[in-house]
Every structure is written in C-alpha cells, then in structure tokens.
Amino acid sequence: MSRIASVLLPMPLPEAFDYAEPEGMGLALGDQVAAPLGPRTLRGVVVGLREAAGGNRPLKPVEARLEEPALPEHTLEFIQWAARYSVDAPGAPLAIALRGARAPKPKPHKVVETTGTAPARPTPARAKVLAAAAEARLSPADLARAAGVGAGVVKGLIEEGVLAARLVETEASFDPPDLSRTGSALNASQAAAAEALRAAVREGGFNVTLLDGVTGSGKTEVYLEAAAAALAADPEAQVLALLPEIALTQAVIARFAERFGAAPGEWHSDIAPPARRKVWEGVASGRCRIVVGARSALFLPFRKLKLIVVDEEHDGSYKQEEGFIYQARDLAVVRGKIEDAAVILASATPSLETLRNAETGRYRWLRLSARHGTAELPDVELVDLRESPPDTGRWLSPPLVRAMGETLARGEQTLLFLNRRGYAPLVLCRACGERMCAPDTESWLVEHRYTGRLVCHLTGFSMAKPDKCPHCGAHDSLASIGPGVERVEEEARLLFPQARIAVFSSDTLFDAREARRLIEAMESGEIDIMVATQAAAKGHNFPNLTLVGVVDADLGLRGGDLRAGERTYQLLAQATGRAGRHERPGRALLQTYAPEHPVMQALKAQDRDAFLQAEMAERELAGLPPFGRLGAVIVSGEDPPGLEAFVQAMAKAAPNTEGVEVYGPADAPLGLVRGRRRKRFLVRAERTVDLSAYLAAWRARVKPPASIRVAIDVDPYSFL
C-alpha cells in the first residue's frame, strides 16, 4: 500500500498539495522535501500522511526527502494556527519559518590534526605546535597563532606528515548556558517578582504573566531569573526573548551572555545568511537553548520551548504590516499555549489589550514598584507653545533652550526627542503651492539633508532635490516645512556650537553595530546632546542623561487612529523615562499646543493609571479593542472603475452575522500608492465573534480579478 503526502509549500497557496510517496522514502511529519510544482522544484514540508485509496488519479511523486532537520509538530501547528488567524495562506508563515533553513550553510573549514607520526627533526617551535594541536582542532593559521610560531612551522609539519589537514563542516555549536552563575542583586520588589516567575516556570504548563514596571525598575534582571529557572528545570528547555528593535536586541544579548556565560542565538534581519542558518539549525537540534531576536524569531523550529519573553510588549513594531500580517505579541501567547510554555509580557507602559487581560485575571499581573537603585522618576513639565513659542523657523522653545544650557553647563546630557526622520516632513513650492509627492502616491516626500534627497518613507521612492519646481518651473521656490531630527540637530548646533551633538535615527545608522556604537558613546558621556527618533526612546540606560526634551509631543495625537492616545502616552513615557535613571535627578520638558489634553495631563502627573482608565472607558463605550475586535480589508487596483465595481460587489457579499458591523467601502486615507487606488472596509465585531472565520468566509464569496488585490489585516494598527 502506498501513501499520499500532503506537502505545504512556502507560497501563497490556499492549502497543502498532495504527492505520492515513492516506495521506501519513509517520510514523517515535518520532513523537508523537494516537490515539483509546474516546471519548478520547491522545498516544502510534509504536513500530512495517509494511505492512498485505490482508484485515484495518479499523483506526482515527492522528488526527494532533504537531509535537513524536520520541523517539529508544534511548529507546524503554530504555522497553521497563525495563517488561519491572519486569514492568509499557510505558505506565508511557512516561508518565514524556513528562512533559516534556506540560507546557505557556513562553508566547511580546514583544521589540522596530529597523525601520530613523530617529527624527524624536533625543535622547540615544533613542540609548541604539537602541544597546541593536541588541545584543539584549529585551522593552520590559528594553530600557528596559538603556538606563537610562524605559519611555516605548521606548513612544514603538514608536509612531513606529522600533522594532517582536513575539511570539516562548520557545526552549529552553541556554548551551553552556565547555570551555576548567579544573577545581579535584586531589590525587594524585583526579588518578589522573580520568585513568582520562577514558581510559574517550575510549575510548568502554559501561563502568561504581565511584568509591569516603570522604566528603570529592572525588568530585565527579573526575567533573566525566570530564564535561569526554565533552563535549570529541564536540560533540553529552550528560551526565547523577543525585542522590538535591533539596537535593543544587542543590549539584551549582552545581558544574557553575562548572566549565562554564553552568547545566545541572535535572530533578526541584520544577521548574515550563514549565521542565520547556524541559529536555525541550532534551534532545530536543541543545541541552541537561548534565542534573542526580533518578531520573526517566533517562527523558529524550537524543540522544547519553555519560556517566551516579549520585552516592551506594547511596542507597535511587533505588528508586521507587510507580507504576512501578524502581531508578534499576540502570536507569542498562542505559541506559548501550543508549546505548553510560560509567557512573560514586560513593559513600563503595557498595551490596553494586555492590561485588560491582566485586570480580568486571564494573565498574572506582577508590578515592579521602585526604580532600581537610587534613581527617581523625572519631573515632567509641559511647555505651552502658545505662550512660549520658538522663534520663526525654529523648533526649540525658550524654556527648553534654557534647560539645555543649564544641563550642558553642569556637564550632563540632553536627549531631544522627535519621532520624525529626515530634515523636513514636507517640501512645497512657495510659488504654486505644489506639495512634493512620490509618483502616483499621495504621501509626502521627506527631505533628507545628509543625502540631499527627497524620500518617500512609504514606497521607498527617492530623488535628488530639484532646484526648480517640477510643477510651475519657478526657481528656488521649494521650501522645507516642519522639523525632522536633522533640522533639530542643525538648530542645536547653532545654539550650542561647543556641544558634542549626534543624531540617532534609522536613516543615519547603517546597521545594528553602528547603532550600538552610538549608544555606547552616549553611555560613556562622549555626547552632550542626542537628537533621536523613537529608536532611542526604548530600553537604553544613559547614566548622565538628566534632560529629555520632547520637541513635538502632539505629533502622535494627530490623525484619527484608535491607538493614537495610547501610543503617544507610551512613547512619551518611555522617552521621559530616559532621564535621571541614576543618582542625578531628571527633568523632562514636553512642548505642546494642547497642554489640557488628557494624555499631556496624565504625563505631567505621571499618573499612568488615570490615563489608562480614561482611555479604557472610551474604548469600551465604542466597542473597540480590547472590548471588541477590528479587522481591515484593503482592496487596491490600477483601474478605478473596475476597482469601484469590485468593492461594491464585495460590500454586497459581506455575510450578515450577528455582532458584526461592516463599514465602507471608503477611500483609504492614503488613496493612491504606487499608482494603485486603495479602498478600505473596516469590520467591527463583538469579542465573542470569530472575526478570522468571518473574514475568511467573506473573502471566499468573492473572486477578485487578477488586477485587484485584497489584503486582510486582523487587528489593524495602521489606518492608512
């Protein structure tokens, strides 16, 4: 009797395809195989095996079983769950899960070994080489270096047959964590939280804890103890820590390395393919027991995942907005459930969703009260820009400039915070009013002075800044409107020419290493004033930073998005929390045109709970998350009449279900991107409704023509 293998391919296909298993191949669930699809051969994964019933038409056979680690059953289950939830093809998350498996293997390397033959002519140099070679298998160059002799000595011994060189595969080796080490000293609040987490981990099974503590309360030390408990409880247990930013990943990797005397596996987009391959294999084999990484690390093939930490769980970067759309914090909880693992969500400003789960008892809630060590929370002052406006064409108000001068005079540091990249967010023509946009797109071009270019942050389009208006042809008429970090840096240099000033923004930093260098320069006091986007608002620890200036505290409040208030609060609380983390008291100045706004008042009073209560009540009234569910459907096409006809048909096809309201179709706020018109539906559902199933049923009722794309975003974060 032959068998049929269902093979999932990392492609946007609705389901797994059936293939015949060739005689004697002995496939098992999770095996990676080569399977034909049309004229191509693709790497796929076996997700089902069944006996073939007679009389079916013949299936194409699986071409080969690959000599690669199989995907564990739990990983497969997670992939399929994630696809169903996101109303996407299971091949989309599978492609993420196989990213490491498809990366090239590290090249084999040459090592030398002793052959047992004694050298004909022993010398002290040769003796040193033989002694070193007996200790470890090294490359010829490393062996010479280890023995402290010239390369010729090693070469001579190889030629004589005393040593032999051979090629070995680079093994995905990871040093095991040293569990005899102890962590740093904890204060009473930390110690209590650490003990509760250790107990949760030892108890085993799925459970979720919100680790809730103000910036600087030492959450990392606490979850490191939970990791230690998980690793100690089971010699095969694995731990995953997720971080929202690559720059932050670096810092946390260092903390893990220090705590366990071994570097964890590192996983994010900046990792070179061979290193990625090494981590993937290490995780699949169980040799890599700790992974620190960005959201896609959630799709690694863990064998025995026992603890997942989501640090800065409120961070919007956990939401993947392109390709396979998912919220990594939510999927981390799902993966924890599938793996029967403990999950820790850590934040100083938890998301409303997580807080709601903590309030209702679905999550355990641990609060860290005191700041670590002697540090105190900074004083927060609101600068009313209507009363103290900056000079024309300037962005720093007199009170903020004064505070910067005082801080500089004391030899302390200032962080100016503006969540806007580039020099100016808008370039317009003074002659005709033309706003510079990317071709066929409604988003403004942002001026970047460092590169002299105008860049579209949405589509990636860029052009040199022209010297005349492309619309009316007027010369020297293009004006830069509004501030970006580069412009604020320019102003700071004019005001304080003697100060050492740096910009921290994703455009001015090329990679994680450079970001780390700048963070270290700030930590060691080599920078007086840092102008930064949100990247620097998170998690870093600058001992001499005593002043935070928020250039435009109102920025996040504009543009009607459901999380605007929450996000602004989180960002500003994080940014102001940077100040005064050590012995020196800190101060934060927020420039605002709306000092009476509840977000500003809550920040000034440092009353997080009052802010959250107000926000929670508003959401409950409107039935918005976490009290209801939201889904967005974005339909785009190049031909406006065809698009209009399709969205009208789609509106009619919406299933009529109790507890679900469909709004739209409406023009999306960004109505034109890369020449495609965009329309949006918004779906609001009661909490009890399976929104994913509803959206899947809706989409199954319509057949979009090839020129039209339908994208579904469950729990949208972007409303553009």
Query: What's the closest the beta carbon of residue 466 comes to Zn ion, in angstroms?
Result: 10
Query: What's the closest the beta carbon of residue 432 comes to Zn ion, in angstroms?
Result: 3
User: Contacts with Zn ion in 567-626 (CB under 5 A)?
Assistant: none
Residue 449 makes contact with Zn ion by CB under 5 A: no
Q: Which is nearer to Zn ion, 148 or 466 (CB)?
A: 466
Q: Which is nearer to Zn ion, 472 or 649 (CB)?
A: 472
Contact status, residue 162 vs residue 114, Cβ threshold 8 Å: yes
Contact status, residue 410 vs residue 427, Cβ threshold 8 Å: no
Residue 160 makes contact with Zn ion by CB under 5 A: no
Query: What's the closest the beta carbon of residue 447 comes to Zn ion, in angstroms?
Result: 16
Residue 471 makes contact with Zn ion by CB under 5 A: yes
DSSP per position, 260-287: HSSPPEEESTTS-HHHHHHHHHHHHHT-
Tokens matching residue 395: 């962005």
Residue 283 phi/psi, 5-degree rounding, is: -70, -45
Place of tokens 């999927």: 331
Q: Which is nearer to Zn ion, 409 or 464 (CB)?
A: 464
Task: Pick the piece of the chain touching Zn ion (CB under 5 A) from 271-279, 355-363, 395-403, 473-481.
Answer: 473-481
Q: Which is nearer to Zn ion, 162 or 429 (CB)?
A: 429
Query: What's the closest the beta carbon of residue 475 comes to Zn ion, in angstroms?
Result: 10
Q: Which is nearer to Zn ion, 434 or 490 (CB)?
A: 434
Contact status, residue 482 vs residue 445, Cβ threshold 8 Å: no
Q: Which is nearer to Zn ion, 136 or 432 (CB)?
A: 432
Q: Which is nearer to Zn ion, 398 or 470 (CB)?
A: 470
Residue 432 makes contact with Zn ion by CB under 5 A: yes
Helices (H), 421-563: 485-495, 512-523
Q: Which is nearer to Zn ion, 164 or 431 (CB)?
A: 431
Contact status, residue 288 vs residue 282, Cβ threshold 8 Å: yes
Query: What's the closest the beta carbon of residue 614 comes to Zn ion, in angstroms?
Result: 45
Residues contacting 414, CB < 8 A, separation 6+: 403, 404, 407, 408, 528, 529, 530, 545, 546, 547, 548, 549
Query: What's the closest the beta carbon of residue 427 comes to Zn ion, in angstroms?
Result: 11
* Torsion, Cα of 592, 596, 597, 598 (10° steps): 130
Q: Which is nearer to Zn ion, 477 or 606 (CB)?
A: 477
Interface pick for Zn ion out of 68, 379, 434, 440 (rule CB under 5 A): 434
Q: Which is nearer to Zn ion, 288 or 469 (CB)?
A: 469
Residue 478 makes contact with Zn ion by CB under 5 A: no
Q: Which is nearer to Zn ion, 355 or 436 (CB)?
A: 436
CA 45 to chain centre: 26
Query: What's the closest the beta carbon of residue 609 comes to Zn ion, in angstroms?
Result: 51
Q: Which is nearer to Zn ion, 476 or 583 (CB)?
A: 476
Task: Pick the piece of the chain touching Zn ion (CB under 5 A) from 340-348, 472-480, 586-594, 693-701.
Answer: 472-480
User: Contacts with Zn ion in 319-338 (CB under 5 A)?
Assistant: none
Interface pick for Zn ion out of 127, 472, 617, 649 (rule CB under 5 A): 472
User: Contacts with Zn ion in 355-374 (CB under 5 A)?
Assistant: none
Q: What is the distance between the alpha carbons of residues 289 and 302, in angstroms, rounded to a whole number?
A: 9
Residue 246 makes contact with Zn ion by CB under 5 A: no
Query: What's the closest the beta carbon of residue 474 comes to Zn ion, in angstroms?
Result: 5
Query: What's the closest the beta carbon of residue 479 comes to Zn ion, in angstroms?
Result: 10
Query: What's the closest the beta carbon of residue 453 comes to Zn ion, in angstroms?
Result: 19
Residues contacting 47, CB < 8 A, separation 6+: 6, 7, 8, 16, 29, 30, 76, 80
Written in H, E and C, the secondary structure of 13-81 is CCCCEEEECCCCCCCCCCCEEEEEECCEEEEEEEEEEEECCCCCCCCCECCEECCCCCCCHHHHHHHHH
Task: Pick the piece of the chain touching Zn ion (CB under 5 A) from 284-292, 468-476, 547-555, 611-619.
Answer: 468-476
Contact status, residue 504 vs residue 530, Cβ threshold 8 Å: yes
DSSP per position, 569-584: HHHHHHHHTTTT-SSS
Task: Pick the piece of the chain touching Zn ion (CB under 5 A) from 394-402, 423-431, 656-664, 688-696.
Answer: 423-431
The DSSP bridge partners found for residue 166 are 111
Helices (H), 71-187: 73-86, 91-97, 124-135, 140-147, 151-160
Query: What's the closest the beta carbon of residue 478 comes to Zn ion, in angstroms?
Result: 8
* Burial 39-56, CB ≥16 within 10 A → b, else e: eeebbbbbbeeeeeeeee
Residue 429 makes contact with Zn ion by CB under 5 A: yes
Helices (H), 204-238: 219-233
Q: Which is nearer to Zn ion, 192 or 431 (CB)?
A: 431
DSSP single-letter state for residue 137: -
Query: What's the closest the beta carbon of residue 671 comes to Zn ion, in angstroms?
Result: 23
Contact status, residue 45 vs residue 17, Cβ threshold 8 Å: no
Query: What's the closest the beta carbon of residue 449 comes to Zn ion, in angstroms?
Result: 21
Interface pick for Zn ion out of 469, 488, 518, 714 (rule CB under 5 A): 469
Residue 361 phi/psi, 5-degree rounding, is: 85, 0
Interface pick for Zn ion out of 20, 431, 624, 645 (rule CB under 5 A): 431
Task: Pick the piece of the chain touching Zn ion (CB under 5 A) from 99-107, 173-181, 252-260, 422-430.
Answer: 422-430
* Torsion, Cα of 217, 223, 225, 227 (10° steps): -170
Query: What's the closest the beta carbon of residue 467 comes to Zn ion, in angstroms?
Result: 12
Q: Which is nearer to Zn ion, 14 or 433 (CB)?
A: 433
Q: Which is nearer to Zn ion, 141 or 432 (CB)?
A: 432
Tokens matching residue 183: 């962590």
Query: What's the closest the beta carbon of residue 591 comes to Zn ion, in angstroms?
Result: 31
Q: Which is nearer to Zn ion, 7 or 429 (CB)?
A: 429
Q: What is the distance between the alpha carbons of residues 556 and 665, in angstroms, rounded to a whole number?
A: 26
Q: What does R_g of the chain's alpha carbons equal in angstroms?
A: 29
Query: What's the closest the beta carbon of residue 441 comes to Zn ion, in angstroms?
Result: 19
User: Contacts with Zn ion in 490-549 (CB under 5 A)?
Assistant: none
C-alpha separations of 299 from 96, 328, 371 in Å: 7, 10, 34
How many chain residues touch Zn ion (CB under 5 A)? Answer: 8
Task: Pick the piece of the chain touching Zn ion (CB under 5 A) from 74-82, 426-434, 616-624, 698-706.
Answer: 426-434
Task: Pick the piece of the chain touching Zn ion (CB under 5 A) from 65-73, 225-233, 465-473, 528-536.
Answer: 465-473
User: Contacts with Zn ion in 651-690 (CB under 5 A)?
Assistant: none
DSSP single-letter state for residue 340: T
Query: What's the closest the beta carbon of residue 436 comes to Zn ion, in angstroms?
Result: 10
Q: Which is nearer to Zn ion, 148 or 473 (CB)?
A: 473
Interface residues with Zn ion (CB under 5 A)? 429, 431-432, 434, 469, 471-472, 474
